Amino acid sequence: MLRTTISSLPPFAEVLIAIAIGLGIGASFAFVDPVIVLFLILGLILLSPFLNHPEWSIIGMLISYSTILDVNILPLIPIGIGSLNIMDLALVGFIGIAVLRRIAERDFELTLRPMGIGIAVFFFMMMLSTIVGVMQGTTVLGEATTEIRYVAYYLAYFVIFFLIQKESKISFLMYTFVFIGTFVAAAMVAQFIVGPEVEIIYGRIEEFAQDGVEVDQVARIIPAGRYMVYTCFNILPLFIIFEDRKRRKWLYGVAWLLLAIGIILTFNRNFWVGSVIIQMIVLLALDKDRQAQLAKLYSICIVAMILLGSIISLNPETKAAQAINSTVTRFTSLFESDTYNARFDDTANTSSLEWRRIENEVALPVVLRPTPLGLGMGAWYRDYMPVIDEGLEDQGFDRNVLRGYIHNSHFWIIMKAGWLSYVGLMGATAICVWRGFRHWHLVDRKYQPFVIGSSLSLIGLMLSAFVDPLLTDLTWSPVAGVILGLNEAIFYLSERRSEDSLLSDNVVNTPSV
């Protein structure tokens, strides 16, 4: 669009524009740091291709927040009421472009479907709760802006659905999503090999501790991309059974193995239990033929895992054997309510489950407030409590941050964004899950594994959200936005193809006069 407009100008106008740009760049060196000018020039050069390929920005968001990089790596730009970084600006910019195209282009469709309505209600009511909260003094603008930034990436749904509707772009984004998840898992394996002493990825890298006793050589690895690993782990088995080409089956098999090791290395019990639940539901969603294929794949993997584990355990001093032993111990601790396996074993005053119980008990009166609005993002819901805060404060955690923190992210959203906001988010999630479970066969075959696996993985993550504040986590919201947006775009693409096919059939079958 921009290229067409410029090419239509007369030659003398193009010369004047070039001279003006040159003078502007030259003059800027007198007032602005040359390095900043250089970055601005590069940004302008890259602006056009990025505008034409919004999927690149979506991938950039995933890489920045949900892989092995420090989520704070991008510098913040002050905007008066808070700060934004380049990815925040890209998100806002593309949503603005969608609105402008709807106004300027007659043939550009911008319709809200049920899932989009749910996300819109979620974000609108969250913003309304925050505005009211700032006015009433239940929250402050600075802390509210930070939490709003964290959840704003659910809006990536709209960027994908409105601006990424070509099949080539949808396919590219889908396969890149799976590749990124596999890459994170491979990086986790590399981190395990070098050990916790040398950190090569960003995240919690520590010696695994069971009941406060560290296990030498065994690294517990919880990177920013853990939700990517979790989601892709539940997608890859479907890619394997839906694929006909043997080479690709083996490629997907290797990727699934890396993802399985990555899931184990998190030592997150909710990940393990959630994955088992998801795979059982996946079996129910499939047709009988694919149920048999998937059951066969599971059986082969279980037998291979037992045999390989037995062989490795013959030498109990190896790092791999200790990891297997720690995994078994960690899994059996599911049935022991007094276990605690956090990073701060030496200073925590209470067990992990008791910690969460106290948080939920204190939060419940706030959750049950007789109003659809919340306290506002960034709000505190409790006073300082030494029984759960003292040890963490000694480790450097801010006392005020702890007063607004709760592991149960369902409660987090209800308290701060309100019940209507929460219902909007859960409604959008439920629509995605239901379509993936019941209507996956309506989309093109190459998209079916992603639709089933990604949508049903949300079940496990929503269960994990009762003990993990993932729903308001910057490492999760871009992943959620991509899952919801890609599923919507895939179903919409299939609907358009069905309509085009129906129209073609009608044209062919119309008798000539």
| Strand intervals (E) in 294-333 | none
Q: What is the mean pLDDT of residues 402-430?
A: 93
The residue among 122 and 385 whose pLDDT is bigger is 122
Element (H, E) at 85: none
**487 has a pLDDT exceeding 50:** yes
Check residue 313 and report its DSSP letter. T
Least reliable range by pLDDT among 34-48, 154-168, 215-229: 34-48
Percent of residues, the chain, with pLDDT higher than 90: 41
**pLDDT at residue number 208:** 60
Q: How high is the pLDDT of residue 23?
A: 52
Tokens of 263: 């899931």
Confidence of residue 226 (pLDDT cuts 50, 70, 90): very high
Mean residue pLDDT across the chain: 80
When comparing pLDDT for 2 and 255, which is higher?
255
Which band of pLDDT confidence, cut at 50, 70 and 90, is reported for residue 134?
very high
Mean pLDDT of 139-165: 91
- Kindly report the CA angle at 315 between 312 and 318, in degrees rounded to 5? 80
Residue 348 has pLDDT above 50, yes or no: no
The listed range with the strongest mean pLDDT (64-78, 199-213, 471-485) is 471-485
Residue 510's pLDDT band, with cuts at 50, 70 and 90, is low
* Per-residue 3-state assignment (H helix, E strand, C coil) for 214-261: EEEEEEEEEECCHHHHHHHHHHHHHHHHHCCCHHHHHHHHHHHHHHHH
Tokens (6 digits) for 352: 């992990």
Distance of alpha carbon 192 from alpha carbon 215, whole angstroms: 13
Q: Which residue did the predictor score with more confidence, 495 or 7?
A: 495
Beta-strand relationship, 83-84 and 77-78? antiparallel
Q: What is the pLDDT of residue 12?
A: 47
pLDDT value at residue 86: 82
The per-residue pLDDT for range 90-113, each reduced to its tens digit, is 888 888 888 787 777 777 777 889
- Ranking 104-113, 149-158, 206-215 by mean pLDDT, the lowest is 206-215
pLDDT at 213 over 50: no
Of 375, 378, 381, 376, the closest CA to residue 403 belongs to 381
Q: Is the distance from CB of 376 to CB of 129 less than 8 angstroms?
A: yes
Phi and psi, residue 99, nearest 5°: -65, -45
Rounded distance, CA 439 to CA 448, Å? 10
State the pLDDT at residue 133. Answer: 93
From 215-219, 259-263, 369-373, 483-487, the region with the lowest mean pLDDT:
215-219
Q: How far is CA 8 from CA 17, 19, 21, 104, in A?
A: 13, 18, 18, 19
If one compares 478 and 350, the residue with the highest pLDDT of the two is 478
Q: Does residue 296 register a pLDDT over 80?
A: yes
DSSP state, residue 75: P
117: confidence class by pLDDT, cuts 50, 70, 90? very high
Q: Which residues pair with 223 in a beta bridge?
A: 203
> What's the pLDDT tens digit per position in 31-56?
555 555 555 555 555 555 666 788 88
* Residue 506 confidence (pLDDT): 57
Around Cβ 189, how many Cβ atoms within 10 Å?
14
Cβ atoms of 288 and 244 within 8 Å: the answer is no
pLDDT for residue 388: 72
- For 427, what's the count of Cα atoms within 13 Å in the CB-facing half-sphere? 17
Give the list of residues 6+ apart from residue 284 with CB closer than 8 angstroms, or none: 437
In angstroms, the CA 418 to CA 147 distance is 14
- 351: phi then psi, degrees, rounded to nearest 5: -75, 165
Most confident of 51-60, 142-151, 202-211, 494-503: 142-151
| The 3-state secondary structure of 163-225, one letter per residue | HCCCHHHHHHHHHHHHHHHHHHHHHHHHHHHHCCCCCCCCEEEEEEEECCEEEEEEEEEEECC
User: Average pLDDT, stretch 478-485?
Assistant: 96
- Class of residue 237 by CB neighbours under 10 A (exposed 0-12, middle 13-18, buried 19+): buried
**Segment of 84-93, 134-143, 167-176, 293-302 carrying the highest mean pLDDT:** 167-176
> Phi and psi for 220 in degrees, rounded to 5?
-90, 125
CA 398, CA 260: separation in Å to the nearest integer?
35
Is residue 234 within 8 Å of residue 278, measured between CB atoms? yes
| Distance (Å, whole) CA 17 – CA 20 | 5
pLDDT of 455 over the 60 cut: yes
The reported pLDDT for the residue numbered 394 is: 64
- The β-bridge partners of 205 are 221
Q: How many Å apart are CA 32 and CA 161, to the nearest integer? A: 39
Provide the pLDDT for residue 428. 97
pTM attached to this predicted model: 0.83
Res. 471: pLDDT tops 90: yes
Banded pLDDT at 513 (limits 50, 70, 90): very low
Tokens at residue 6, please?
């410029």
User: Of residues 406 and 346, which shows the higher confidence score?
Assistant: 406
CB of 222 closer than 8 Å to CB of 264: no
